[in-house]
Structure 1
Amino acid sequence: MDTRRKLIILADAAKYDASCASSGTSRRDSSDGLGLGSTEGAGICHSYAPDGRCISLLKVLLTNWCTYDCLYCVNRESSNVERARFTVDEVVDLTLDFYRRNVIEGLFLSSGIVRSPDYTMEQVIEVARRLREVHHFRGYIHLKTIPDASDELVLKAGRYADRLSVNIELPTADALRALAPEKESAAIKRSMARIKLQQDDHADGIAKRARSMPAAAAKPVAPPRFAPAGQSTQMIVGADASDDRTILQTSATLYGAYRLKRVYYSAFSPIPHASDALPPRPAPLMREHRLYQADWLMRFYGFAQDEICTDDGMLSLDVDPKLAWALANPAQFPIDLNRATRERLLRVPGLGVRSVERLLMARRARSVRRADLDRLRVPVAKVLPFVALPDHLPKDGDRLPLRRRAESDSGAGAGERQSDLFA
């Protein structure tokens, strides 16, 4: 099979992995003439998928052969799909060729499991090693860590990669046992813990060297780098009966226990010759979008996962979770924009982190009034029903259109609920 055909097969096979980003790493470039590539993205041509995702990495599998038989995976052992396998040199050459033509800014590499987790991980790492050490590639590299790979291999992967990721796959251990019998939730979390420990050791090494050097001495030599962009994971949404509250609880636990940079959510899509254990229809893409919004609220807005969902454990498909929370908690409003704390302001629908910072800066000089909101680029229509100003108090009926929209979530025109998929 020629390389072009392999690329068609293995790039398509990699499209189901959503945990593909190129942010958060240290800045590197080749302006000194000693290497190739950059992590800053200058001069890179970005393309966009139909769903709006930015594609700037060569995103491929080393192979779609796999010894595992995960029911939700199109590349499972029992799947009747065309198989292909790259050599290490082919992936290296493709990465360098695409980079030189300004098509990509780095590499996202995953793989099906062949022979054993350690063997597969060795092959994945060898691609990154050759790019870094042989070709002095300074662009972005994201490697998918194979659960149950040895500690030594995890350490080696982090030395070459900017980001590592291990997919948690499903929200609960029971769901994983039912749909992916060869995988263990405990093994996946052990891999995450190994990455976190290596990150902690790297940070401790930097701190110790800084403390041990006199102030006037030369800058201490930093310990070897380890995945400076951290680690991420992915959950499939809608392949099992877990509600949104369960999914967000799992995400909150992962963020707290393993300091993940991101949890990615991927709406389940039916695959050919699927098992009867899977729902016959895809999960609504809006549900995936709402989970990302709720995830953002947990990470940057001070919301706890147990206060975001509705009573049935789901997120509203018709309104964003922040507005849904505000409508469900009318006693919290209106909020005085000139007196409220930053934490309270972040709870106002329509106010983002940047908007709140602009408000806090503005009110240091004088009292903020209704006319100031336009100058501060605040979305007035969203904000006014929930705030009080010297020249504005919301009326009882201001939130009525918003409430009607939220209540329509249970009406005939609403999107599919997760429970419908398993009816």
Structure 2
Amino acid sequence: MRTLSPLDKLKILGEGAKYDVCASTATRVQKPGKWNIGAASPSGVCHSFTPDGRCISLFKVLLTNYCVKDCAYCPNRADRDVARTKFAPAELAGLFMDFYRRNYVEGLFLSSGVSHSTSRTMSEMLQVAEILRSQYKFGGYIHLKILPGATDVDVAAAMGFANRVSLNMEAPSAVHLAKLSQTKNFAGEILDGMAKIHKHLHNQPGVSHSTQYIVGAAQEADRDILQSVTNLYSQYNLKRAYFSAFQPVDGTPLATIGQTPLIRENRLYQSDFLLRNYGFRYHDLIFSHDGNLDPELDPKLAYALHHPEIFPLEINKASYNQLLKVPGLGPRSATKIVRVRREYRFSQPAELKNAGIVLKRALSFITIDGRFYGDKAKLTKPCRQNYTQLTLSWN
């Protein structure tokens, strides 16, 4: 068996890491100034675009794709016939710095299969981060995966090196996770790991944590996922959740299951955005009878159509929080409306354009100085076949 070069290993282990989602890697607080190479940009470093159009990239790789776990969806599961390799910690750190100095990447996203044991693999991942911080004095962005079952000591060490850590939920409950893996313990490894991360957050103010769900692999409903997400936000101070539509992989037990539609992933992201940034609560979300979000309606519009007792709102009187519930309005436009109203009263739709409102979406859910400019005919139709039939009456 020939010895693989670092670039040969990267081809295998970079491909193996593609299923980990890390589209947002922004961090507001930079790590302490004991490192002097690199800077963690607040605009993010993974497939993100800055306001001037630059794409900034992340070195996303597995330490190894050897794995003792049996996750039914995973291309790196233990019994799958696939080329296997691993990096030595110093080798991977050196390769990353070579890419960094060439300006190919600006930060590191490091995950791994569980080789031999969680403890041993976490130790080697931590060695990579320690070499970068101590030997190379790298002060840029590092995202470290916390492996299920990691010790409290390893979690604390990871948070001392990283700008972000993440522990994948994969599924929203123990029942659902059991459909994906017999070697992972939901309470003892996943939720316990979340608790360990949360415990150390107050000692690491510059660190955030995230998680990821595999959507559709465990026959879970959107309601299950979003209930789980809500609990993580409230109980563990989760920064944000990522959703990955299930894609079948040849040679795995779930290879014959159909791919999850991307629109389902999109609706989950939209709902999560409402929970994090628009003041929505879990019970505000509208689910169909099967527990899923409507693929044809964005969640904010579904809420508005489902609550004829609330809408239309008078644009000159509605509170900031009420404005956030109006389709076509966001935090910036709601803030601007509230500010302008202190000295001015809106009287016609054209005046709202300057506030950043998407009038086409908003007009059917607001009145302007007592007048309704929307299309009543469109709103008297049933919301959707799976929802309770609603008739909106406007006074």
Decide: shared fold, TM above 0.5: yes
For 1:15-74, what per-residue CA distance to the aligned partner results, in whole angstroms no more than 9, with x for missing partners? 1011453212413699x9x721111279989578xxxxx761100000000011111111
More helix by share: 1
- Over 3 Å counting, the alpha-carbon distance change for 1:92 and 1:25 in structure 2 is farther
Matched, 1:407 2:389: no
- Give the RMSD, CA atoms, in angstroms: 2.5
Farther off after superposition, 14-23 or 332-341? 14-23
Instruction: Name the structure 1 match of 2:391.
Output: none
Any idea what SS the aligned residue of 1:179 has?
A: coil
- Over 3 Å counting, the alpha-carbon distance change for 1:74 and 1:46 in structure 2 is closer
Any idea what SS the aligned residue of 2:288 has?
A: coil
Farther off after superposition, 39-48 or 106-115? 39-48
Q: By how many angstroms is 1:123 displaced?
A: 0.3
Instruction: Choose which of 1, 6, 23 in structure 1 pairs with 2:9.
Output: 6
Instruction: Name the structure 2 match of 1:303.
Output: 280
Q: Is the 8 A contact 2:26 2:44 kept in 1?
A: no
Any idea what SS the aligned residue of 2:342 has?
A: helix
Q: By how many angstroms is 1:378 displaced?
A: 1.3
Matched, 1:387 2:388: no
Q: Is the 8 A contact 2:244 2:265 kept in 1?
A: yes
Instruction: Choose which of 294, 301, 323 in structure 2 pairs with 1:316.
Output: 294
Instruction: Name the structure 2 match of 1:272.
Output: 250
Q: Paired residues, what number?
A: 376
- Partners of 1:343 and 1:44 lie apart in 2 by 32
- Partners of 2:152 and 2:92 lie apart in 1 by 25
Unpaired runs of at least 5, structure 1:
49-53, 203-225, 411-423
Farther off after superposition, 360-369 or 16-25? 16-25
Q: Is the 8 A contact 1:91 1:127 kept in 2?
A: yes
Amino acid aligned to 1:27? Q
Runs of 4+ with deviation above 6 angstroms: 41-45
Instruction: Name the structure 1 match of 2:24.
Output: 21
Farther off after superposition, 112-121 or 300-309? 300-309
Q: How does 1:10-409 map to 2 (within 5 A)?
A: 10-19=13-22, 21-27=24-30, 35-40=36-41, 56-186=57-187, 187-200=189-202, 202=203, 226=204, 228-275=206-253, 280-312=257-289, 313-370=291-348, 371-390=350-369, 392-394=371-373, 397=376, 399-400=378-379, 407=384
TM-score (norm: length of structure 2): 0.89
- Partners of 1:295 and 1:41 lie apart in 2 by 21
Task: Give the percent of matched residue pairs that are identical in Structure 1 and Structure 2.
Answer: 40
Q: Is the 8 A contact 2:29 2:205 kept in 1?
A: no
- Over 3 Å counting, the alpha-carbon distance change for 1:7 and 1:408 in structure 2 is farther
Amino acid aligned to 2:275? M
Q: By how many angstroms is 1:343 displaced?
A: 1.2
- Over 3 Å counting, the alpha-carbon distance change for 1:396 and 1:373 in structure 2 is closer
Q: By how many angstroms is 1:283 displaced?
A: 0.3
Unpaired runs of at least 5, structure 2:
50-54, 388-395
For 1:58-105, what per-residue CA distance to the aligned partner results, in whole angstroms no more than 9, with x for missing partners? 000000000111111110001111111111122112221222222222
TM-score (norm: length of structure 1): 0.83
- Over 3 Å counting, the alpha-carbon distance change for 1:366 and 1:42 in structure 2 is closer
- Partners of 2:117 and 2:180 lie apart in 1 by 20
